[in-house]
Amino acid sequence: MTVMADDSWLDGEGPAARTGLSPPVGLAADDVAALAVALARLAETIDAERAALGTAGALEWESEAAELFRRAVAERSTLLAVVAADLRDAAWQVRAHANYLYAGLDCRPG
């Protein structure tokens, strides 16, 4: 099954909340899969911020203070790499739960 990406979802409160329907019973597998895609995209956003941080550290500045600043920027860059990894892990876990829900749908009689 193809999981459709929904960009507006990035700024909303969750896929189910924007369907306009009454509160759903349980959880739709498609919504969970879409959540996984959104989380993966957020990881890419963090990657982009990490690249932007790299340009902030690329100054024509030579001094002891400059070295400390570059080191601090490098530490933050590592921190952002951890954030991106955590988001990808979360996306993977959510995707795994979506797969679990899809598997349950496939086993349902009829």
Partner 1 sequence: MEENPPLPVAPGATTFTITGGVGSIRYTLAAVAAAAGRIQAAAGHVGSVGEQVDREAAWLESRTLSLPNYPFGAIEAMRRAGRSCRGARGSLQALADEARTAAQRYDDAERNTAATLARATSGRATSDGLAVWSAGLFAPLVMAGQLFHLWHNGRQAPRDTAEEVLNTLPAYAFGLLGPGASLGYQLRGLMPGSGPPAGVLAAVGAREALELAGAIAPGTLTVRRVPSSEWQRRPQPLPGPSAGAGSMGYGPEGGTIAPTIRGVLSGSSDAYAVAPSSIIVRKVDRGDGTTAWIADLPGTESWWPLDGQNVWDVEGDLEAMTSAQRAMFAQRQVLVEQLLKEALKDAGALPGEPVMLTGHSGGGIHAAAAAADPAFLAEVNVKMLVIAGAPAANQAVGARINVLDLQNRDDIVPALDLRAPPDTPQWVTATSTRQDTDTGANPLEKIARAHSLDAYLADADALDTSDDPSIVEQKHAITAFLGPAAAGGAVKYQQFVYQGRKDAEPAPGRTGPKAEPKKERGGIAKQGK
Token pair, residue 47, equals 């990657």
Determine if 1 is a binding residue for partner 1 (CB under 8 A): no
* By the rule CB under 8 A, 3 interacts with partner 1: no
Cα angle vertex 2, ends 17, 8, to 5°?
A: 35
CB of 109 to partner 1, least distance (A): 18
- Per 3-state DSSP, what percentage of the chain is helix, strand, and coil (rounded to 5)? 75, 0, 25
Contact between 100 and partner 1 (CB under 8 A)? yes
58 within 8 A of 27, measured Cβ to Cβ: no
DSSP string, 69-85: HHHHHHHHHHHHHHHHH
Q: Does 103 bind partner 1 (CB under 8 A)?
A: no
What is the binding site for partner 1 (CB under 8 A)?
10-11, 13-14, 16-17, 24, 26-27, 32, 35, 38-39, 42, 45-46, 49, 52-53, 55-57, 59-61, 65, 69, 72-73, 75-76, 79-80, 82-83, 86-87, 89-90, 92-94, 96-97, 100-101, 104
